[in-house]
A = this chain, B = another copy of it.
Amino acid sequence: MATCGLIEYDHASSEVRAVYNDIMATRGTDWINNFWKALAHDPPALRRTWQSVKEIMAPGALDPLVKEMIYVAVSVTNQCGYCIASHTAAARKAGMTDAMFAEVMAVVGMANESNRLASGYQVEIDDRFKTP
């Protein structure tokens, strides 16, 4: 189980409930996933992390689907089981099809391979790729 346990809505302080309410309202859902319930043991961290996630994942120059797929790509690269499961679900909800998922995986696999080939062969950065 989570290191400090999970704080359910019914047992949460009003400070924590306010964040839970905003998460559910923003996402249009009626439940809170375990990540937030575990983090709720540190209310300032809960508030700060949620505010950052809310701000970062909102539509902007990139749409939410692209952002969720990038989130999946990072989580897969880091091999974080929880985040792979939760953000694959979030990306699907945002419109990711099976075909899109397969292409994300292919790019992630290829990038992880070529990152090591570049480092292993000690390839120097081309002048054209350097910022002037």
Contacts of A100 in B (CB 8 A): 61-62
Majority secondary structure of chain A interface residues (helix, strand, loop or mixed): helix
Pair B123/A38 contact, Cβ less than 8 Å:
yes
* Residue A2 is within 8 A (CB to CB) of chain B in the complex: yes
A112 with B110: in contact, given A33-B126, A124-B1 (CB under 8 Å)? no
Chain A residues within 8 Å of chain B by Cβ, number? 84
* Residue A26 is within 8 A (CB to CB) of chain B in the complex: no
Q: A residues engaging B (CB < 8 A)?
A: 1-5, 31, 33-35, 38-39, 41-42, 44-45, 48-49, 51-53, 55-57, 60-62, 66-67, 69-89, 97-126, 128-132
